Amino acid sequence: MPFTQKWVTGHLLGRALLAVVLAGAAGNLIDRALLGFVTDMFQTTFMNFAVFNVADICVVLGGIGFCAYYLLLFDRLEGKEAGHDAPGTDG
């Protein structure tokens, strides 16, 4: 049976996470298209870490949020229990 539900856009949390990821991607794309490079603005002085910007934060946090949404909340939000859709099981 094909998966036909819109799991990303079917819930407010999924739409918000999609908006955060797309906003970060659009921010980096606009910088790349207009300037030819992405402007990074945050550099940590207390540890050796990559220089980053707000768009990078949006993409990373949105991606982590998608993983958490899918792994932790998806079955509950859809009203299912984990394991019922596994092949070879009854129910």
Tokens, residue 9: 């856009």
- Is 75 noted as a catalytic residue in this protein? no
Buried-exposed string 43-57: b where 16+ CB fall within 10 A, e elsewhere: eeeeeeeeebbebbe
Torsion-angle region of 71 (φ positive above 0: left; ψ -120 to 50: alpha; else: beta):
alpha
Q: Which of 40, 75, 85, 90 is catalytic?
A: 40
- Is 40 noted as a catalytic residue in this protein? yes
d(CA 59, CA 83): 30
Q: Which of 31, 56, 85, 90 is catalytic?
A: 56
| Residues designated catalytic | 40, 56
